[in-house]
């Protein structure tokens, strides 16, 4: 056992996979979450993304339906 045994990989999708998923589904079927700062969101964001900065996620995750597939960026 070593320190890495305390961690597990987070699932990731390459952008192509995300794009394909968003094309196939309707917005009601998933959560797309922009976790950057409001300023970064204002500059540019993916269409339909909901802004929840990572600093606020601990309290605001309840705004999302956890039964839906969720993509963060």
Which string of x and - marks every residue 6-45 that binds other proteins (by CB under 8 A)? xxxxxxxxxx--xx-------------xxxxxxxx---xx
What's the gap between Cα 42 and its chain centre? 17
51 binds other proteins (CB under 8 A): no
Report d(CA 62, CA 6) in Å as an integer: 27
d(CA 63, CA 47): 18
Residue 61, both tokens: 């995750």
8-state DSSP, 30: -
**63 interacts with other proteins by CB under 8 A:** no
Among 20, 25, 29, 54, binds other proteins (CB under 8 A): 54
The residues binding other proteins (CB under 8 A) are 1-4, 6-15, 18-19, 33-40, 44-46, 53-55, 57-58, 61, 64, 66-73
């Amino acid at each position: 056992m070593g320190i890495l045994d305390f961690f597990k990989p987070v699932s990731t999708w390459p952008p192509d996979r995300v794009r394909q998923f968003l094309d196939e589904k309707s917005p009601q079927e998933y959560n797309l979450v922009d976790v950057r700062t409001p300023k970064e969101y204002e500059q540019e964001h993916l269409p339909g993304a909901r802004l929840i900065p990572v600093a606020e996620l601990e309290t605001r995750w309840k705004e999302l339906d956890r039964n839906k597939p969720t993509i963060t960026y």
